[in-house]
Copies of this chain bind each other. A is one copy, B any other.
Amino acid sequence: MIKVGIVGGTGYTGVELLRILAVHPQVSVHCITSRSEAGLPVAELYPNLRGYFDLSFSEPDPKVLKACDLVFFATPHGVAMRRVPELMAAGVRVVDLSADFRLKDLDTWARWYGMAHESPEWVEQAVYGLPEVARESIRKAQLVANPGCYPTAVQLGFLPLLEQGLVDPGHLIADAKSGASGAGRQGKVGMLHGEIGESFKAYGASGHRHLPEIRQGLTAAAGQPVRVTFVPHLVPMIRGIEATLYAELNDPSAFDRLQALYESRYRDEPFVDVMPAGSHPETRSVRGANVCRMALHRQEDSPVVIVSSVIDNLVKGAAGQAVQNMNIMFGFDEAAGLGAPALLP
């Protein structure tokens, strides 16, 4: 039984962490902080948790956090980078769900996030927590940078192609679509039901913060620079990301070997599911579950390989992956707390 703390618990990733940890057999939630809601019982803000947690939101208190074995940061970017060094010094392990420690290049980070990084030394030490790529490093990490939602869906879909050098790294397209919970729980006009409830649009088409994160991961997988175009879209639903990925095979006849390649690449991964070629993964098939499901397609004899990859942005795209990382870090069963099937319909 370990003691965990959650910093910044009023958003959607905060409640999702609690929902998952509520059934985790080896975790006790020691504290959950929120400056704005300090004093409010968690179950008052999130009535689905009535009966599960007696906890109230509290002001962040370093002493309390240092008494934890692990702290999750579910904060806006720029917060974790200031708080993490003190926890590191105290020997606390951290999974940061924000973007603070995801990009290794500090200039890139500064440009996309609009501020200079305040913990460059920990950027270097942080492990980018995509278990399918870095399980062994995660196991030993003190600080894990939990991947972004889009980057998780896009990287898992592209990885086998790039790792094997099967596609032209200069023509990658990732057309991604997300439900509204990805934008968080702030009272913005643009995210009102009346604004987005029965509409669809691209956003960030000229550049989105997840682009450099995707590029960093794909470059590492390819072992050479990649050019990836990434356009996110907003879907009038709450949870779910679908990414349709396009790449050009160097050898079009290689398509026939791809299904076997994908199945073999992910055979031992508990949370990646390669469906039969020609399937169309639905986001509802992963709703509430820590799974990335994908399938391969090609049109006629085109050299373009198409991968459709789906996740629940709050689970495999955030809180679920964070718990998976925690499980790895503490030697728990990697699926502990993550065992229930998706909620369909």
Q: What residues make up the interface of A, taking CB atoms closer than 8 Å to B?
A: 12, 15, 18-19, 22-23, 46-52, 171, 173, 175, 177, 179-181, 183, 185-189, 191-203, 205-207, 211, 227, 229-231, 233, 235-240, 242, 244, 246, 248, 273, 275, 278-289, 293, 297-300, 302, 304, 306, 308, 310, 314, 339-345
The answer to whether A342 touches B48 (Cβ under 8 A) is yes
The answer to whether A22 touches B197 (Cβ under 8 A) is no
Which B residues are in CB contact (< 8 Å) with A300? 207
The answer to whether B193 touches A196 (Cβ under 8 A) is yes
13 contacts between A and B (CB under 8 A): A23-B339, A48-B289, A48-B344, A187-B191, A191-B194, A193-B197, A200-B237, A200-B240, A200-B242, A205-B308, A207-B300, A233-B242, A236-B236
- CB-nearest residue of chain B to A53: B341
The answer to whether B193 touches A191 (Cβ under 8 A) is yes
The answer to whether B201 touches A283 (Cβ under 8 A) is yes
The answer to whether B185 touches A187 (Cβ under 8 A) is no
The answer to whether B194 touches A180 (Cβ under 8 A) is yes
**Which of B197, B230, B302, B310 sits near A229, CB closer than 8 Å?**
B302
**How many angstroms from the CA of A285 to the CA of B191 in the assembled complex?**
16
The answer to whether B275 touches A47 (Cβ under 8 A) is yes
**How many angstroms from the CA of A173 to the CA of B247 in the assembled complex?**
10
The answer to whether A340 touches B341 (Cβ under 8 A) is no
Write the nearest CB–CB distance from A211 to chain B, whole angstroms: 7
- CB-nearest residue of chain B to A12: B345
